[in-house]
Amino acid sequence: MGLKIWLNDGLVEESEAKISVFDHGLLYGDGVFEGIRVYDGKVFELQSHLERLYRSARAIRLSLPVAMETLADQVRQTVGANEINDGYIRLLVTRGTGTLGLNPLVCKQAQVIIIADEIELYPRELYEKGLRVISANTMRNHPLTVSPQIKSLNYLNNILAKLEALDRGMLEAIMYNHMGYVAEATGDNVFLVQNGRLLTPPVEAGSLDGITRQVVIRLARDNGYEVVEQNLTRFNLYDAEEIFLTGTAAEVIGIVEIDGRQVGSGKPGPVTMELLEKFEAYVRS
């Protein structure tokens, strides 16, 4: 049997989950989304994700047709209907059906789509062995074009960087901003360990203030680590004792090679593995 998808007013069978070809989410990437995890049947950090969704929507003048509390209940209903115990939710809000022109004001009502399914972003063994990554030539969008805090449906910038990694036989790439500072990976936040401190780019560098990023920073500080948000260069990555990524789907995963250069011992470092263990315990607490 297929999945049950929440489409606007209720659950429909996967085969019946259809949108108009005139939806501006399809025509122009005009919309916002959230990726959310489910652990042991519970939706992880749902309130934080919904608050960010509504902030993103307000930033692009997209009015959601449902109250936050109601949307939270719809998310839980979708998880329950698909019997998801450990999985992933993709919550999308598109501008809705309009015309072939750019004018968003012709779209009468936003569309809400909720998908709940299983996910494995990286093979499990890579959490023990670590990822190899490259530096992308594709520059991160300038933060004065579209704010990186808007989690929009337009991911072409990230997709082009992802293709660079895939073309070189790797799964991930580090993206840099217009000033040459580290922004983020194609879908995850970046951390490095140097002299016992955790360093991560500030959101002003062009990175999304990830929910998992926030949780890991809190866990690190609770366990005695100093966490500093500062601009980082490619040299900082090359010189790092450890590098790891955080994200909703990725969770916490170590980087063992960047641009052909070994990171640390060539295995996920002790700080990375400690924070992965702390994170896994936290999400199931």
The answer on pLDDT for 144 being more than 90 is no
Mean pLDDT of 210-214: 97
The band of 216, judged by pLDDT with boundaries at 50, 70 and 90, is very high
Instruction: Give 44-58 pLDDT, tens digit per residue.
Output: 999 999 999 999 999
* Sign of the torsion formed by the C-alpha atoms of 263, 266, 269 and 275: positive
What is the share, in percent, of the chain residues with pLDDT greater than 70? 100
Instruction: Give 162-206 pLDDT, tens digit per residue.
Output: 999 999 999 999 999 999 999 999 999 999 999 999 999 999 999
CB 184 within 8 A of CB 151: no
Based on the residue annotation, tell me whether 151 is a catalytic residue of this protein: yes
Of 277, 273, 275, the C-alpha closest to 264 is 273
Mean pLDDT of 258-278: 97
Domains of the chain (ranges, CATH numbers): 4-117 (3.30.470.10), 126-283 (3.20.10.10)
Instruction: Give 100-123 pLDDT, tens digit per residue.
Output: 999 999 999 999 999 999 988 788
Q: What is the pLDDT of residue 119?
A: 86
CB 280 within 8 A of CB 269: no
The band of 231, judged by pLDDT with boundaries at 50, 70 and 90, is very high
CB 30 within 8 A of CB 94: yes
Residue recorded with tokens 């929910």: 211
Q: What is the pLDDT of residue 262?
A: 98
Q: What is the pLDDT of residue 121?
A: 79
Which of 18, 42, 108, 151 is labelled catalytic?
A: 151
Q: Which helix (H) or strand (E) holds 183?
A: strand 182-185
Q: Taking the model in full, what pTM does it have?
A: 0.94
